[in-house]
């Protein structure tokens, strides 16, 4: 199992049958920064953590971490570009396709997070891909719901 804690001292917790391993994420600048969303696809051995600073929603610092697990250890994968601004959730569509959302909008990557394309600047708090991988469902404040057809 894998979990992430929020706040300016965010950590990833990797639970294996033999141990608990803690991986500190880069220390961010204030207490409103940190990790907010995590997704891990065991079949693809691929995960993403998103976050940022909700009081500075245009700042992309520390808003994306990509990883895989090898020999019960996390291995971080560098990405060339970060999505724009504060992000609160992320979902994996396929090995190369990922969607993230947050106060700063919704973005899509078709190359494993190397580059990002803005879908909308509308704010959403959570996103998930449907089991048939044909839609992304997004939810936001005040009951706002949207879907992206894939």
Q: Where are the domains of the chain?
A: 2-149
Please give the average per-residue pLDDT across 60-73, as a whole number: 91
In the numeric block, which tokens belong to residue 95? 């090995």
pLDDT top residue among 122 and 56: 122
In the numeric block, which tokens belong to residue 122? 């509308």
Q: Is the pLDDT of residue 32 over 70?
A: no
Q: Is the pLDDT of residue 28 over 50?
A: no
* CATH architecture of structural domain 2-149: 6 Propeller (2.120)
The predicted pLDDT at position 57 comes to 87
pTM score of the predicted model: 0.92
Distance of CA 42 to the CA centre of its chain: 15
Q: Is the pLDDT of residue 65 over 60?
A: yes
Rounded to the nearest 5 degrees, what angle is found at the Cα of 103, between the Cα atoms of 29 and 87?
Answer: 60
pLDDT top residue among 69 and 32: 69
Q: Is the pLDDT of residue 139 over 80?
A: yes
What pLDDT band is residue 27 in, cutting at 50, 70 and 90?
Answer: low
Q: What does the DSSP assignment read for 4-43?
A: E--STT-EEEEE-SS-EEEEEPPP-SSTTEEEEEEEEETT
Weakest-pLDDT range from 6-20, 79-93, 94-108, 129-143: 6-20
Closest CA to 94 of 37, 148, 41: 41
In the numeric block, which tokens belong to residue 146? 């949207």
């Amino acid at each position: 199992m894998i979990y992430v804690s929020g706040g300016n001292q965010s950590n990833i917790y990797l639970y294996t049958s033999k141990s608990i391993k803690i991986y500190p994420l880069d220390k961010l600048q204030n207490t409103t920064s940190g990790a907010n969303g995590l997704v891990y696809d065991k079949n693809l051995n691929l995960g993403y953590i998103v976050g940022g600073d909700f009081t500075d929603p245009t700042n992309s610092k520390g808003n994306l971490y990509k990883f895989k697990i090898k020999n019960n250890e996390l291995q971080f994968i560098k990405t060339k570009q970060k999505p724009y601004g504060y992000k609160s959730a992320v979902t994996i569509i396929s090995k190369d396709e990922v969607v993230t959302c947050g106060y700063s909008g919704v973005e899509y990557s078709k190359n494993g997070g190397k580059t990002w394309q803005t879908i909308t600047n509308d704010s959403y708090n959570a996103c998930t891909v449907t089991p048939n991988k044909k839609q992304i469902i997004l939810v936001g404040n005040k009951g706002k719901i949207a879907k992206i057809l894939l």
